[in-house]
Amino acid sequence: MDNDFGNNDADGTSDGTGPDGHRRRPRYSGTHPRKFDEKYKELNPRIDPETVAKVMASGKTPAGMHRSIMVAEVIAALEPRPGEVAVDATLGWGGHAREIIPLLLPGGRLLGLDCDPLELPKTEERLRAAGFGPGRFDAFRTNFSGLSRALSEFGLAGADCVLADLGLSSMQIDNPARGFSVKFDGPLDMRMNPEKGITAAAWLEKVSPVKLETVLADDSDEPAAADIAQAIAGRRFEGTRALAEVVRKASGARTQEDADLAVRRVFQALRIEVNEEFKALESFLRVLPDCLNPGGRVAIMSFHSGEDRRVKKAFKAGLADGVYSEISDEVIRAGAAERRDNPRSAPAKLRWARRA
C-alpha cells in the first residue's frame, strides 16, 4: 500500500516538500474523502505528525500504526541483559523489539520473526533507521512456529529471551485490503501471509455448516454458532461488509452492540482457521523449551481464551516435568491507564515461564 499522499507539484516534490523545504499538508480529493488511504492522514506520520499526536491523545491508535501493549510488563518478565540473545517471535510493528534491543547491548542481539511479507520490510527499515544494524538486530520471515529453524539459520544454539505477542498488529487490522475488519469494506482475505494459503472467502465457500458451527464455538465462543453457520457456510462473500451484514441478521442479536460483537467473533474464528493459528501455536509451544538456553525466559501475550488455555496448559505441563523452573502464577493484564489510553490492550493476557 502506498502511504505517501504528497502531490508532485511543479513547485514541490513528490513527498509534499515545497521549494522552501517545508512540508505541506497532503491534499485530498474533496472535503470528505472516502478512501482509506486519504481519509486517515496519520498513515504517513512524517507528513502529518500533528494528526498522529491528536489521534493518540484521544486514546485511539493511528491508522497504519501499532501501539505495543504492556511493554514494561514484558521487559520485567524477560529481564533482557547485555550480551544475551533475544527473539521477538512476532515482530509486528517492532515496538517491543525497539525497547528490548538497547537492554541487550553491548554484545547482545535480537532476532525478529514475522510471516507478513508486507509489514516485515517496513519494520526492518524502521529499526535500521533507529540505529540497529545487522548483528544487533536481524529479521527472518517465518511465523513463530519456525523459531528453531530461525535460530539455526543465524547459527544460534538458543535464546535467553523469547517474546510472542499473538495479537494482530494494528497495521493489519486497519488496512481494508487485508480483510481483517469491517471498519472499511474490503476483500475477504484475512491471510497473515497473502502469498500463502487460501482466502477466508474461499475457505468459507467450501466449509460445511457442521464444521463451521464447531469452529465458531471452539475458536470464538460464539453463542449463535449454529444459526450463523447455517447462514454463511458454503456461500461466496467477496467483501467484508457483505459477510458482516449476514452475520448480524443471523446472530439474532437484540442490540447493535451485540450484533457487532457477533461479527467480531466470527471474523476472529475465520482468521484463526485461515492462518491455522492454533496449530502454529501448539507447534511453537512444543519446540520452545529446546530453543531456550538454561535459565532462559519466555513471555507470551494472548488475546482470547483459546490461545491462553494452550499457553497455560503448556507452561503447567513444563513446570510439572521440570522443563520450566518457574511460571507466572496468574495472568498479567494491562493496567487501567493503559486500557484507557489504548483500548486494544484490554483483552491482552500475558504469561511467562523460566527454563530450568
Does 85 map to a domain?
yes
Q: Round to whole Å and give the CA distance between 143 and 54.
A: 34
Q: Which residues contact 30 (CB under 8 A, 6 or more apart)?
A: none
Give residue 50's domain range.
Answer: 1-59
Per-residue cell: 281: 501455536
Same structural domain for residues 327 and 347? yes
Q: Say whether 114 sits in a helix, a strand or coil.
A: strand
Q: Quick one: 29 and 80 in the same domain?
A: no
Q: Per-residue pLDDT tens for 112-165?
A: 999 988 889 999 999 999 999 999 999 999 999 999 999 999 999 999 999 999
Residues 153 and 287 in one domain: yes
CATH of the domain at 104: 3.40.50.150
| Residues 76, 96: Cα–Cα separation, whole Å | 12
This prediction's pTM: 0.79
Task: Note the residue count of the chain.
Answer: 356
Instruction: List the pLDDT tens digit at each of the 356 positions of the chain.
Output: 333 323 333 344 444 444 455 544 445 454 444 444 554 444 554 545 555 445 445 545 455 556 899 999 999 999 999 999 999 999 989 999 999 999 999 999 999 999 988 889 999 999 999 999 999 999 999 999 999 999 999 999 999 999 999 976 666 666 777 877 777 789 999 998 888 899 999 999 999 999 999 999 999 999 999 999 999 999 999 899 999 999 999 999 999 999 999 999 999 999 999 999 999 999 999 999 999 999 999 999 999 889 999 999 999 999 999 999 999 999 999 999 999 999 989 999 999 999 99
Q: Could you read off the pLDDT of 46-57 as tens digits, one per residue?
A: 545 555 445 445
